[in-house]
Homo-oligomer: A and B are copies of this chain.
Amino acid sequence: MNSIKVIKVGGKVIDDDQKLDTFLEAFMSITGPKVLVHGGGSVASVLGERLGIKPNLMDGRRITDAETLEVITMVYGGLVNKKIVAKLQSLGGNALGLSGADLNIISAKKRDPEPIDFGWVGDVEQVNSQWFLKLLGEGVIPVLAPLTHDGSGHMLNTNADTIASSVASALSSDLETELILCFEQAGVMNGEKLITEMNLLLYRHLKGTGIVTDGMIPKIEVGFQALKNGAKKVSIRHYEDVAKPDSGTVFISN
């Protein structure tokens, strides 16, 4: 084993069983060691609303109070994670669902409540590469929910793109690592047109001119972070193209 693909899927793909099946079948067509990181889709917000908990967002990020953390732990760590694991098993992949607490595989620090108290949100501190390497060496497909833990008995809510980037970064010390962020668009878009290559200079320009906004900004930033930390390839692509090399927006470091 000398290479690894870290693949993240999120957004509406998680909410739609048919899209999720299409994605997982394409994902399984990728040969070699791979890690899957999934987001939560809108299931947690929908369930929270049914339970009378209003989603509380700040700059596109959820404020995670204790009740919201329970909903997220249920939905991300239980419902979504097990649905994906059971489906991958049925497709012949030896999937293992993990939160950061399992095997202490990703520990995090609860975010400082100043200037904004995001609640039970964790910033990744350490990725346990040794366990990833052991599992991958046994042919296991780790399936990570966007949940970490603080080592003191608390689960923490952590963005799935960030988890994917952190895992890709950590594994880059030992393996040739590729990070693929999948969603419902063809990649980073300039209106209707796909941007096929992205470097920092272009990103700053696109951000400055308002062509990339909102949810796309943190996604691109974690992509560059992984590249800086040693990932050999980073791209943002359509979930149906997960197995299609060099599709979508490919990050280049110069």
* Contacts from A to B (Cβ < 8 Å): 47, 50-51, 70, 73-79, 81-83, 85-87, 89-90, 94-99, 101-104, 134, 138, 140, 147, 149, 151-155
Contacts and interface: CB of A to CB of B under 8 A. Distances in A.
Contacts of A102: 85, 95-97
Nearest to A52: B50
B79 A140 contact: no
A72 to B, nearest CB: 9
Contact of A73 (B82, B87, B104): B82
Contact of A101 (B89, B98, B153): B89
A186 to B, nearest CB: 28
Given A74-B74, A78-B77, A94 B86 contact: no
The prevalent SS among residues of A at the interface is: helix
Contacts of A76: 78
A48 to B, nearest CB: 11
Contacts of A152: 90
A209 to B, nearest CB: 42
A140 B103 CA distance: 7
Oligomer: number of copies? 2
A87 B104 CA distance: 11
19 contacts: A47-B51, A73-B82, A77-B78, A78-B81, A82-B147, A83-B155, A85-B101, A85-B102, A86-B101, A86-B155, A87-B153, A89-B101, A89-B151, A89-B153, A94-B104, A95-B102, A97-B97, A97-B101, A134-B138
A243 to B, nearest CB: 20
Interface hub of A77, A98, A151 (most chain B Cβ within 10 A): A77
Interface hub of A74, A77, A89, A154 (most chain B Cβ within 10 A): A74
A147 B74 CA distance: 14
Closest 4 A/B residue pairs (Cβ): A78-B78, A90-B153, A74-B74, A77-B78
Nearest to A143: B102
A78 B140 CA distance: 21
A136 to B, nearest CB: 13
Contact of A74 (B78, B90, B151, B155): B78
Interface hub of A90, A98, A154 (most chain B Cβ within 10 A): A90
Contacts of A138: 134
A96 B103 contact: yes
B155 A82 contact: yes
B79 A74 contact: yes
